[in-house]
Every structure is written in C-alpha cells, then in structure tokens.
Amino acid sequence: MKKIGVALLGLGTVGGGTYEILTKNREYFIKTQGIDVEVMHVLERNTKRAEELGVPLGIVSTDIENVLNNDDIKIVAEFFGGIEPARTFLLKALEKGKSIVTANKELYSKHWHEFEAVAAKTGAGLYFEASCVGGVPIIRTIEEGMQGNRIEELKGIINGTTNFILSSMDEEGASYSDALKRAQVLGYAEFDPTADVEGFDAAYKLSILSSLAYHKRIPVDKIYREGISKIQIEDLNTAKDLGYTLKLLAISKNKGDSLEARVSPVFVPSSHPLAAVKGSFNAVYLKGDSVGDIMLYGRGAGALPTGSAIVSDILYAARQSEHRRYPFMLKDEDVNISNDFTSKYYIRVAALDEEGTLGKIANVFGKRNINIDVVLQKQPRSRENVPIIFVTGKAKESLMQKAVSEIKQLSGVREVVSLIRVEE
C-alpha cells in the first residue's frame, strides 16, 4: 500500500476542514483508493485551534524547515491566503521536489508561472482544483474531461458572495447595501468585501480557468473587471419585465487570433441555466467544439466543499508517477486579449422632461450604427428625472462607450445611470 505524508500550512476554515476530512476518512481512503494519507506536520501559530481540531501538538510548529526537511512529506497543502509567506514557502517546497496543493486563487493567478518553472525542474506537481469554484471539479473537467475539444467559451458564476447579494436583491427586493450586510452577517462576505464585490476574486479565478482552457497564459491584469457595488434595485426590477436576470459573470471567449476575458455584471435571459443559480451557489458553463455546451454546478465556498477539493487533489497527486506540466505558462508571448468585445447593452438614462430628448439619444446610437431593440419610458419621478431604458443590438464596447459619453453631454440628459451588458 502506498503511504503519503502531507503537511498542512495553516488551520483556518479550509485548512481545518481539510484536516477533518483527511483524518475522518483515512481508513476509507485506504480501502477505496489504496492510499494511506497521513498528516505529518501542521504549520500553525494558534495551538488552541489545533487542539480544538484534535491535531497532536507534537506535529504542530511555526517553522517551515520542519516541513522541508522531512523526506516523508511528499505533498504540501497551503491555506495561509494572500501572497506572502505562502509564495515563498511553496517555492521552497517545490525546490525540495514536494508537490503543492492550494486554494489560493490570488497567489496562483499571479505566480503560477513561477511555480511551474521550479516544478518543471524538480518534477513536483501543481494542484489547484480548490482555487476555482470550491468543491465543483471544474479544473479536473477541463484537464481530464474536455481533452477532445477546443474550448471556445467559458462563462461562470464563480463568486458565491456576489451571487448571494444579487439573488437577495432579485428575489427579496433588498437594496445592495442591505443585501451586503446580510451576506456579512451570514459569513458569505468579509468585513471588507472589496475583493468579492469589485470582481477581483472572480478575475483571479477567470485567469486560472482561461489559461487552462486555451493553453495560454492569461495575466489577471489584462482581464476587464467591473463589480456590482453600483447596481440598483430598479435595474433588476426592469430586467424581470424584459425577461432577464442579473449575474456577476466571468466570461472568456477564444476568438482564434485573440481572446476575450472579462468580469462584470451581466443580464442573461431568465431561461438560461445560469439564471437559475441562486444564493451562494456557483456554476461554470463551457462550450467545446465537439461536445457543445455543458454546465457544472455546486457549492463555491465553505470549509468542507473547498476541503473536499483539496483532499481530491491530495489523493490525485498521491497516485501520479509523473505530474502534469504546463509549458504554456513559461512562454513569454504577448497574448492578444481584446477588451473591445461585442455585446448587447442595457442603458438607463435619467432625462429631463423636455421634448425631443428621446430622439436625440436615438440619433446618437444611429450615428454609430447601434440598433435599438427595446425602448421603455418609465413613470417619471419628477420633471428632472424621467427614466428611459434602452436595450441595444450587438455593438462593440468602444462604440458603446463613445455613444454613452456623447449621451451624457446632451441637453435633455441629467445622467446615464446604468450601463449593463447583455449576454445571450
């Protein structure tokens, strides 16, 4: 029977969940997988936390050398979060030939190429299933289930916090601020929710997933990013009348000579499978040139769902005699990532009660050959605030931004309140 020593760096929420799964199911893994996985060392300052989890204090320390110098430890799983000291510790582990497992999407999206460079020399493995979409096996699906396809498109609800907030606004009529407070009380959102609500978390994940899907290094700083903090309940209510549901989507598309990669609030048809993904659940929608459309759905966060993905990687890594390599991460090539994508658009304008304003706005769209599919003029709130809603046909982002800039300057327009993309 194969025996594998594992070190855990940190015992936070996910680290604790991972320890619980590994110890509780150790005999089960021996029976079903033929692998005896033993937690041989834990890096953790909080000994009380270790005691609460039942970790023997004899294997707990704060010195990474205890991990690096133990030849029986073959796999190092990291739960620190952030960049340092996680990056330094994992690079040292790879230099020693130890495979690494991580759920740290920010670290991995920014430093995957560094890890691959070292791992390629020592033969160590890189495992990061838990970095994207929690317990949903999206990475294994791309790597092991979609090899017969050129992946053409990836769309995902890959941040549970924002999906919970938008679902609360959509279903309960809550304001953004009230929905955020509730997410914080329930533990879905951090005290500082910026990483989630401004789209950073989703951008990290999209960088990783798109790099895997298209076999090209997609730097996170080249991904267009827009969050949900400016979303207003009026737009969600209007969207229902138009047959749409609002989601924060991570989208990438392989255009052959260029790629599209963006994170932003998007209206999707209420009949689309992604529209049915509610609360803190996540889903990823893939389109392959052979298989067509598939969707994976499940819990995107939490101690046990994410711990499940970590343990899956540990078991998978333990069975490999040769680890997968990612040579595309080492190529210093300038991938053409275009932010001038094509989309339909929803625009809400606060207009003055002046004759001819609607015609002036339509004229701006017409000059740029942007078709108008829908026009709605809502009940005026006052003579200074007449809501006018447009849904356009498909247009280039650059043209739409120019049109919006011009509309803002029109004499009868008080404000362009909302500009939301529509994905069909």
Q: Are residues 173 and 240 in the same domain?
A: yes
79's CB contacts (< 8 A; 6+ apart) are 8, 9, 10, 11, 12, 14, 15, 18, 103, 104
* Cis preceding-peptide flag for 387 (omega within 30 of 0): no
The confidence score (pLDDT) of residue 306 equals: 85
Q: Which domain holds residue 40?
A: 2-131
My answer on whether 278 and 406 are in the same domain is no
pLDDT score at 125: 98
305 part of a folded domain: no
Collect all residues with Cβ–Cβ distance below 8 Å to 23 and sequence separation of at least 6.
39, 54
Whether 33 is in a domain gets the answer: yes
CATH number for the domain spanning 378: value is: 3.30.70.260
pLDDT at 257: 81
CA-wise closest residue to 278 among 406, 172, 404, 137: 172
Where in the sequence numbering do the catalytic residues fall?
A: 205
Do 65 and 203 fall within a single domain? Answer: no
Q: pTM (2 decimals)?
A: 0.94
| pLDDT on residue 115 | 98
The tens-digit pLDDT sequence of the chain (424 residues) is 789 999 999 999 889 999 999 999 999 999 999 999 999 999 999 999 999 999 999 999 999 999 999 999 999 999 999 999 999 999 999 999 999 999 999 999 999 999 999 999 999 999 999 999 988 899 999 999 998 999 999 999 999 999 999 999 999 999 999 999 999 998 888 889 999 999 999 999 999 999 999 999 999 999 999 999 999 999 999 999 999 999 999 999 998 788 999 999 999 999 999 999 999 899 999 999 999 999 999 987 777 788 889 999 999 999 999 999 999 999 877 788 988 999 999 999 999 988 889 999 999 999 999 999 999 987 776 767 889 999 999 999 999 999 999 999 999 999 999 999 999 8
DSSP state of 392: E
Compute the half-sphere exposure of residue 252: CA atoms within 13 Å on the CB side of its CA: 34
The pLDDT of residue 379 is 73
Q: Are residues 142 and 126 in the same domain?
A: no
Q: Which among 97, 131, 165 is the end of a domain?
A: 131
- Domain count of the chain? 3
What is the Cα–Cα distance from 138 to 152, expressed in whole angstroms?
Answer: 16
Whether residues 108 and 147 fall in one domain? no
Pair 211, 257 in one domain: yes
- Helix ranges (DSSP H) in 133-282: 138-140, 160-172, 176-185, 194-197, 200-214, 233-242
Cα–Cα distance, 230 to 244 (Å, whole number): 18
| 106 and 168 inside one domain | no
Please check whether residues 89 and 116 belong to one and the same domain. Answer: yes
Q: Do residues 210 and 267 share a domain?
A: yes
Instruction: Return the closest-CA partner of residue 155 out of 350, 317, 287.
Output: 287
Q: What's the token pair of residue 385? A: 């605030």
DSSP 143: I
For residue 307, the model assigns a pLDDT of 84
Instruction: Output the six-digit token pair for 424.
Output: 């069909």
Q: Tell whether 105 and 195 lie within a shared domain.
A: no
Which of 233, 267, 300 is the last residue before a domain boundary? 300
What is the CATH number for 290? 3.30.360.10
Indicate which CATH number applies to the domain containing 111: 3.40.50.720
Coil, helix or strand for 171? helix
Does 253 map to a domain?
yes
Whether 400 maps to a domain, the answer reads: yes
End-to-end CA distance of the chain: 52
21 and 85 inside one domain? yes
Q: Is residue 273 part of a domain?
A: yes
Report helix, strand or coil for 154: strand
Single-letter residue type at 21: I
Same-domain status, 187 and 241? yes
**Which of these three, 266, 285, 300, is where a domain ends?**
300
Is residue 251 in a domain? Answer: yes
Q: Is the dihedral of CA 177, 179, 185, 191 positive or negative?
A: negative
pLDDT at res. 305: 81
Classified as helix, coil or strand, 349 is: strand
